[in-house]
């Protein structure tokens, strides 16, 4: 066993050189790559987090929109029901009024007809009376004949009227 | 024949004694570490990483967690590169000597690049035969480990002075000024134990492998078991060196409120 300090010096120089070479050409780039990957992973994690938040926000928005749409639909149905009810009532009301109007009109017409008929009858009766009277005046001679005549004319009147 | 212990090929160049086996081991470990790391980070992809990239990212995360267990998270980032270099380089280094060994036998003077590697004297001393080991784990050489420990030593104190000066200096006289020598010794002992622990574990492993090899065929199952265990030891020691370095740095730069 011998000791040579030259080996020590050589060892120091060699290690220094190796340290420099390794860090410049091998480990340096490797550290760089690892650091870059770390950053990428970090960035992707952040992006994923952001995406999650965004989707949560969108989901909440969708839910709200759906809720709103449902409420609106309910409102529309409610309105339609109210409108239709009102319309139905209106229709019934109108029908009832129309019926009343027709009935009243009919009544009035009947009244008119009745009045007309009575007037016409009155006119005929007076004409008849005048005729009867003139006939009676024509045949005053014979009481019998007169009676017969009255009867005959009454019959005639009865026939014509 | 002496068991397990070999001579190392040392040449003299311009007054420096270069241990060729240590230099070879360091260079090879460094190249293997760099090539693996480079292969793993060749086609970096964020979304579709290759298997090797996945593995390397797992190592990074492991180191990150290890460092984070010693200091506040805000300071961890600075030291991940250091931790990665330490743990990968040490793991490769610890395993380097396991798969095989290169040993040459010399009966006469052996020269390399005009420098005497094995002298006649050494051969005489070893009884006419000298074994030279060319291949080992760099961390099985304590002088190499001291190099790493010195780096850690300077890192601790420079970082402490730069990032946490007041409390770093104050902690030398805590809890009482009397403790100053003790604290100073502690600062010296820490890197020494780092180096020696690593050296002892790895060197012992290789020594045992060399010893088992002398059993020839009988030793094969034993060798397999021990090599498997050595991989485990190598991993544990690489991890220990890294986490202890981080603990020491953390103690120097982090001021905890009591």
Mean pLDDT of A94-120: 94
Cα dist. A112→A48, A115, A120, A125 in Å? 94, 5, 12, 20
pLDDT value of residue A6: 86
| Chain B residues with CB-CB distance to A19 below 8 A | 81-82, 85
Tell me the residue range of the domain where A55 lies: 5-114
Q: What would the pLDDT profile of A38-91 be if each residue is shown by its tens digit?
A: 999 999 999 999 999 999 999 999 999 999 999 999 999 999 999 999 999 999
pLDDT value of residue B214: 81
The answer to whether position B258 is within a domain reads no
Mean pLDDT of B124-141: 82
Tell me the residue range of the domain where B70 lies: 2-253
Residue B81 structure tokens: 């590169």
- What share of chain A has pLDDT > 90, as a percent? 63
Instruction: Tell me the C-alpha distance between B203 and B140, whole Å.
Output: 4
With cut-offs at 50, 70 and 90, classify the pLDDT of residue B4.
very low
Residue among A9, A18, A36 whose CB faces B34 most closely: A18
Mean pLDDT of B118-134: 77
pLDDT value of residue B1: 37
pLDDT value of residue B86: 94
Residue among B5, B38, B46 whose CB faces A37 most closely: B46
The answer to whether position A125 is within a domain reads no
The answer to whether position B172 is within a domain reads yes
Using DSSP's 3-state secondary structure scheme, residue B19 falls into strand
Contact A22 B26 (CB under 8 A): no
What residue in A sits closest to B52 (Cα-Cα)?
A: A30
The answer to whether position A79 is within a domain reads yes
pLDDT value of residue A77: 96
HEC-encoded secondary structure of chain A? CCCCHHHHHHHHHHHHHHHHHHHHHHHHHHHHHHHHHHHHHHHHHHHHHHHHHHHHHHHHHHHHHHHHHHHHHHHHHHHHHHHHHHHHHHHHHHHHHHHHHHHHHHHHHHHHHHHHHHHHHHHHHHHHHHHHHHHHHHCCCCHHHHHHHHHHHHHHHHHHC
Mean pLDDT of B6-10: 78
Instruction: Tell me the C-alpha distance between B163 and B172, whole Å.
Output: 16
Contact B147 A30 (CB under 8 A): no
The answer to whether position A123 is within a domain reads no
pLDDT value of residue A88: 95
Instruction: Tell me the C-alpha distance between B146 and B247, whole Å.
Output: 18
Is A30 within 8 Å of chain B by CB?
Answer: yes
The answer to whether position B224 is within a domain reads yes
pLDDT value of residue A46: 96
Q: Calculate how close chain A gets to B24, using CA atoms only, in Å.
A: 11
The answer to whether position A108 is within a domain reads yes
The answer to whether position A59 is within a domain reads yes
Residue with the larger pLDDT of the pair B12 and A26: A26
Residue among A10, A30, A37 whose CB faces B26 most closely: A10
With cut-offs at 50, 70 and 90, classify the pLDDT of residue A160.
low
Which DSSP state fits B138? Answer: G
In terms of average pLDDT, the best of B50-64, B205-219, B243-257 is B50-64
What residue in A sits closest to B139 (Cα-Cα)?
A: A11
Mean pLDDT of B201-218: 85
Mean pLDDT of B9-24: 83
Q: Please provide residue B67's backbone torsions phi and psi, each rounded to the nearest 5 degrees.
A: -65, -40
Contact A33 B44 (CB under 8 A): yes
pLDDT at A110 over 60: yes
pLDDT value of residue A140: 63
The answer to whether position B189 is within a domain reads yes
With cut-offs at 50, 70 and 90, classify the pLDDT of residue B152.
very high
With cut-offs at 50, 70 and 90, classify the pLDDT of residue B242.
very high
Contact A8 B45 (CB under 8 A): no
The answer to whether position A138 is within a domain reads no
Round the average pLDDT of chain B to a whole number and report it: 86
| Chain A residues with CB-CB distance to B146 below 8 A | 8, 11
Q: Give the count of domains, chain B.
A: 1
What burial letters (b/e) apply to B86-101, b meaning 16+ CB within 10 Å? bbbbbbbbbbbbbeee
pLDDT at B26 over 90: yes
- What share of chain B has pLDDT > 70, as a percent? 97
Mean pLDDT of B108-133: 75
Selected residues 72-101 of chain A with any CB under 8 Å from a CB in chain B:
none
Instruction: Tell me the C-alpha distance between B108 and B116, whole Å.
Output: 11
The answer to whether position A126 is within a domain reads no
The answer to whether position B120 is within a domain reads yes
Q: What would the pLDDT profile of A125-152 be if each residue is shown by its tens digit?
A: 888 888 888 887 776 666 667 677 778 8
Q: Give the count of domains, chain A.
A: 1
Q: Please provide residue B49's backbone torsions phi and psi, each rounded to the nearest 5 degrees.
A: -70, 145
Mean pLDDT of B232-252: 93
pLDDT value of residue B141: 87
Q: Calculate how close chain A gets to B138, using CA atoms only, in Å.
A: 9
């Amino acid at each position: 066993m011998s000791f040579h300090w030259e080996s020590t010096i050589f060892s120091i120089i060699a290690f220094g050189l190796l340290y420099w070479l390794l860090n410049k050409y091998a480990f340096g780039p490797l550290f760089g790559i690892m650091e870059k990957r770390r950053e990428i992973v970090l960035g992707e994690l952040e992006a994923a987090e952001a995406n999650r938040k965004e989707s949560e926000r969108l989901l909440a928005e969708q839910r709200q929109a759906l809720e709103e749409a449902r409420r609106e639909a309910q409102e529309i149905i409610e309105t339609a029901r109210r409108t239709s009810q009102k319309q139905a009532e209106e229709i019934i009301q109108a029908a009832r009024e129309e019926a009343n109007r027709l009935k009243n009109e009919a009544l009035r017409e009947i009244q008119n007809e009745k009045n007309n008929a009575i007037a016409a009858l009155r006119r005929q009766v007076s004409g008849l009376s005048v005729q009867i009277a003139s006939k009676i005046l024509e045949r005053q001679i014979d009481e019998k004949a007169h009676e017969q005549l009255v009867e005959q004319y009454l019959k005639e009147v009865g026939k014509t009227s | 024949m002496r068991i397990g212990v070999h001579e190392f090929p040392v040449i003299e160049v311009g007054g420096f004694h270069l241990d060729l086996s240590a230099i070879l081991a360091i260079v090879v470990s460094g190249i293997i570490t760099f090539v693996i790391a480079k292969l793993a980070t060749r086609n970096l992809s964020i979304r579709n990483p290759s298997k090797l990239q996945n593995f390397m990212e797992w190592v990074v995360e492991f180191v990150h967690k290890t460092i984070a267990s010693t200091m506040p998270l805000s300071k961890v980032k600075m030291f991940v590169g250091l931790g990665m270099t330490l743990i990968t380089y040490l793991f490769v280094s610890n395993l380097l000597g396991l798969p095989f060994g290169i040993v040459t036998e010399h009966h006469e003077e052996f020269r390399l690049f005009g420098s005497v590697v094995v002298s006649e004297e050494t051969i005489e001393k070893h009884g006419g035969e000298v074994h030279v080991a060319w291949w080992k784990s760099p961390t099985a050489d304590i002088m190499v480990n001291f190099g790493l420990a010195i780096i850690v030593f300077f890192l601790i104190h420079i970082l402490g002075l730069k990032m946490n000066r007041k409390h770093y200096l104050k902690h030398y006289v805590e809890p009482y000024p009397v403790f100053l020598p003790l604290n100073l010794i502690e600062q010296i002992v820490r890197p020494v134990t780092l180096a020696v622990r690593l050296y002892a574990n790895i060197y012992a492993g290789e020594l045992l492998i060399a010893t088992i090899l002398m059993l020839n065929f009988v030793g094969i199952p034993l060798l397999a078991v021990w090599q498997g265990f050595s991989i485990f030891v190598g991993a544990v020691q690489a991890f220990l060196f890294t986490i202890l370095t981080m603990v020491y740095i953390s103690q120097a730069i982090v001021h905890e409120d009591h």
